[in-house]
Amino acid sequence: MYTQPVNGKFGPYGGKYIPETLMQAVEELEVAYEEAKLDPEFQERFDALLSEYVGRETPLYYAENMSRRLGTNVYLKREDLNHTGAHKINNTIGQALLAKRMGKQKIVAETGAGQHGVATATVCALLNLECTIFMGEVDVERQELNVFRMELLGATVIPVKSGSRTLKDAVNEALRYWVKHVDDTHYVMGSVLGPHPFPTMVRDFQSVIGTETRRQILDKTGRLPDAVIACVGGGSNAMGMFYPFLNDEDVALYGVEAAGSGVDTDKHAATLTKGEVGVLHGSLMYVLQDGAGQIQEAHSISAGLDYPGVGPEHSFLKDIERVRYAAVTDEAALEACMSLSRHEGIIPALESSHALAYAETLAATMDEDDLLVICLSGRGDKDVHTIRERVGQK
């Protein structure tokens, strides 16, 4: 049922909609990645760093209290326990190793809240790569501590003053920088976005999440889960989680987007729920746009979901109905975040809290013997400031 991309496209989605100056670099990357995939040494180095440096594999934790409360068996994939606190580092390690292999000594990346920026800066410090991170000015102000973290790790953080001064504009500026420095610089795209081969490559590096989960649930229960939930912004943790399950037709997959203030308001990031097909940052995918094709700003309490596009493979999986996509409001995510903190002793990232919130809805349709896996993509330490502000407002 499921196929690899053909000519860089998942159905109609994906492709390489980029300036001509970048075509050579993107094609070189495609070749280099295909070679690296087949090189056992590259894979060994990647696996070794995931194991020794990141701390994989991460547990698939049976959340007893949540299971009791929801009346079904809930397992949390603990990506929050990775080094730097989220799944992002799985991808940055893969791409940084690839950059080295291609002889590129410089890295550029974009970041929204700063998680991908920190994960990139971390790997650049480890592998001695020069690191430049673009971050919207608004996000720089909101996430001061993450800016300092990146600087502490040796990266140069450049505030982006154009457009809405958030993640989308940081990607624009990182792409412009890449056009100027394409000879010696690799662009570490942070999600399953951008021109081919980024969506496929990032998915592959992240698919360690789903591969481990599949093995772990079989070990623990002797069968596959009935449902798997992951949050979707650009969609990298979800793609990494879903990919190894795509051919398991009895496993229902749910992607949860950010509904912000509500999908019927103009303040949300529910791209698959409310967006229309368009082209942004190199890829054909669902995007939030107006009738004239101008990209609109996304809104979510969670900076990591605050992006007006969504990966081309998700766009395809929505159309073929292999994955069902839903949206959860800021309010519901916040409640789920506080609930897991209180009842399970785990403070989840606000991104992951969207998946947790949807579990409450989904569990109502499940039996007590069913197995529900939730991807806990990151820890919530970075969000405590936001949470305190929002809770204080009540």
| Chain residues that interact with other proteins, rule: CB under 8 A | 15-25, 162-163, 168-169, 172, 175-176, 179-183, 276-282, 287, 289, 291-296
**Residue carrying structure tokens 């990591």:** 304
* Residue number with CB closer to other proteins (246 or 280): 280
End-to-end CA distance of the chain: 48
Minimal distance in Å, beta carbon 134 to other proteins? 12
User: Starting at the edge strand that comes first in sequence, how are the strands of the sheet with 73-78 ordered?
Assistant: 60-62, 73-78, 371-376, 227-231, 252-260, 323-329
Cα–Cα distance measured from residue 27 to residue 60, given in angstroms and rounded to the nearest whole number = 37
- Shortest distance in whole angstroms from residue 196 CB to other proteins: 10
Token pair of 332, please?
A: 């519901």
Residues with catalytic function: 88, 110, 377
Taking the mean position of all CA atoms in its chain, how far away is CA 368? 30
Distance of CA 312 to the CA centre of its chain: 13
* Least CB distance to other proteins at residue 22 (A): 8
Per-residue H/E/C for 364-377: CCCCCCCEEEEEEC
**CA-CA-CA-CA torsion sign (272, 211, 47, 98):** negative
Q: How far is the CB of 158 from other proteins (least distance, A)?
A: 14
Q: Is the peptide bond before 57 cis (omega within 30 degrees of 0)?
A: yes
Residue with smaller CB distance to other proteins, 89 or 99:
99
By beta-carbon proximity to other proteins, the closer residue of 94 and 282 is 282
Q: Which is nearer to other proteins, 54 or 287 (CB)?
A: 287
